Structure 1
Amino acid sequence: MITEIYSLAEYESELAKPGLAVLDFYSPNCGPCHMIAPLYNQIAQDQTTVRFYKVNGLDDAGCLVQRKAAVTWWPTLVVYKEGKEIWRDRVPNPPSGDPLRSLEVYLSRVDG
């Protein structure tokens, strides 16, 4: 299941929880974001012990979260463990599934 983050407080609260959290920083107007969405959804369905989130960088609150996470590109995928960033990758334009495959491999190796 993927949960949308709507505020900076929610972002900080979710990252404070134990375990792994994956965030997809996106924009609803971003073509590559739409292209990777089904792959991201599939990974979220397959990974039952990892929490998955989306952050809309065009939304005012999402923009604050994006700034706090130092994200400057859509889509960017970030993995946190106990609130600390442990992995990050950007999906290129034109989009490629490589970052998502890399995410899948990474999650399979990391102890959640």
Structure 2
Amino acid sequence: MTTKNLTMADFESTIAGNGIVLVDFWAPWCGPCRAFAPVFEKSSQTHPEIVHAKVDTETEQQLAAMANIRSIPTIMAFREGVLVYSQPGALPAPALEDLVTWIEALDMAEIHNRIAEQRAASRS
């Protein structure tokens, strides 16, 4: 599977409608972003069951602002609609593979329970 370009119009539906989504926030002028692009593309081919998406921060400035992007590249990972990872910096291929393995191994029932508990506590 190749990477998918996300815009403000399809960002939320992509996150909500897929199990695991990795998002690369990048810009064409960014050297580290260009260096990371082949690593991200290879991961998309290795893991076709995972949506690999890219957000061009130059054309999608409002989306980048809403995602609180302060440095690029920034990699975000969502599972079952929940943000489970967000960190700036290009990852080498082995680190990206480790990230995918870690995301796949997450106990999402536990994470959803924690989110529910936090929401309940904030309402009290």
Please state which band the TM-score falls in when normalised by the shorter chain.
0.7 to 0.9
Matched, 1:2 2:8: no
The corresponding residue for 1:38 is 38
Alignment partners' CA distance in 2, 1:87 and 1:75: 14
Query: What is the percentage of aligned positions where both structures have the same residue?
Result: 23
- Counterpart amino acid of residue 53 in structure 2: Y
Alignment partners' CA distance in 2, 1:27 and 1:18: 24
Alignment partners' CA distance in 1, 2:45 and 2:74: 19
TM-score by length of 2: 0.76
CA-based RMSD: 1.7
Query: Aligned pairs, how many?
Result: 104
Q: Secondary structure at the match of 1:9?
A: coil
Matched, 1:111 2:104: yes
Q: Which structure would you say has the larger Rg? A: 2
1:53-108: CA deviations, max 9, x gaps?
Answer: 0000011xx111111211111101110112211012221xxxx644x532311212
How far 1:5 moved relative to its partner? 1.0
| Higher helix residue share | 2
Q: Which has the higher contact order (CA 8 A, sep 6+)?
A: 1
How far 1:26 moved relative to its partner? 0.3
**8 A contact 2:5–2:54 mirrored in 1:** yes
Which segments of structure 1 move beyond 3 Å, counting only runs of 4 or more? none
Which runs of structure 2 are paired with 1:1-112 in the superposition (5 Å)? Answer: 1-6=2-7, 8-59=8-59, 62-91=60-89, 97-98=91-92, 100-111=93-104
